[in-house]
Amino acid sequence: MKLIQWTLFIDMLGYGEINGTIESDKHADEFISFMSKNADIFRQQDNDDMRRGYEKSNFNIYEYYDIQHALISDSLVITYKPKELNTEISDALYYLHSANSFFIIALRLQWYLYHCLEKKKIFVRGGISNRYAKIDGNFAVGSGIIEAYKLESRIAKYPRIVISDEIKKNQPLIEAINFLSARLYRIPTIFAQEEEIMFFDYARLMVRIGLQGGLDFQNMALYHNFFTHHRDAIIYHTDVVTKKIEQLNKDGKVSEASKTKDSVLSKYVWLKNYHNNAIKTFEDEKIEGIYRINI
């Protein structure tokens, strides 16, 4: 018997543009350092101290999963590959343990999202599958990788991490995730939905993490700074793209300007709306006013 597998494909938006401007060893080394620290985030999360901590907890994820990840160029690939269990467990525990593992992934992703925003004003887009995958070094194979990639490249459209229909339709699993959402963070779910697309609601989860107040000093700094970086990155990219569109129109490249508006600017309009909706859950007008985007 095995728990549900989680496979993620996460792409950094704007990586190509940043990479294309690198023309010296200094800038190359700086960007390589940034990417190395992204990899370190996940290496450090599975160190010996972390493993010993989970051994003492109610849910030792390393007993149930082999955690694998790889950074390939601008893409992060993660799979929580379930181990064969020696004993049978109830259906309730099967779904709760599988859901618990997703919460661990979600919380670890928060650090990755934060680092990308803080250092490079980079947003991400991705997909989540529960199909098979295996990662060995820089090699990632399996139907879960392909499905997660297709979700990122064809379905997500905006900077968000969408889940597969197979996960969305797994009612016992979604109910288990929602049960933990309500119990741990007092929110009905950590997913958001627009039309037929369900995605990881990382910003609203970050609000609830802070409001719960159970964080150490380092994590509180992450929480407060997250919304500042998130806000500033949206404003920055919106300004850059708007000026680019204005210049294209001045140069008579109307069709290119229209295409840029539809394909690029629309992403930051969506992000602005997502950001402003998320910070409403602070239920504090003063804090909401600090982080609100008014462009």
| The pLDDT of residue 35 | 85
Q: Which residues contact 131 (CB under 8 A, 6 or more apart)?
A: 5, 7, 142, 143, 144, 147, 164, 166
pLDDT at 217: 44
Mean pLDDT of 58-73: 91
| Residue scoring higher pLDDT (64 or 49) | 64
Give the residue among 70, 62, 65 at the shortest CA–CA distance from 43. 70
Is there a contact between 132 and 145 (Cβ–Cβ < 8 Å)? no
The pLDDT tens digits for 30-39 are 888 888 888 8
SS3 of 112, please?
helix
Q: Please say if the pLDDT value at position 185 is more than 80.
A: yes
Worst-scoring range by mean pLDDT, 158-162, 207-211, 242-246, 273-277? 207-211
Q: What is the mean pLDDT of residues 76-90?
A: 94
In angstroms, rounded to a whole number, what is the distance separating the alpha carbons of residues 158 and 99? Answer: 25
Query: How does residue 282 score in pLDDT terms, banded at 50, 70 and 90?
Result: confident
Query: Which amino acid is it at 233?
Result: A
Percent of the chain with pLDDT over 90: 65
pLDDT at 100: 95
Asked if residue 184 has pLDDT above 80, the reply is: yes
CB of 9 closer than 8 Å to CB of 141: no
Task: Provide the mean pLDDT of the chain.
Answer: 90
Tens-place pLDDT, residues 261-272: 999 999 999 999
* Confidence label for 285 from pLDDT (cuts 50, 70 and 90): confident
Residue 215 has pLDDT above 60, yes or no: no
Q: What is the pLDDT of residue 219?
A: 58
More confident residue, 42 or 82: 82
Beta strand 197-200 with 191-194 is antiparallel
pTM: 0.92
> Given a cut of 80, is residue 213 above it in pLDDT?
no
Predicted confidence at residue 211, as pLDDT, reads 67
pLDDT confidence band for 137 (50 / 70 / 90): confident
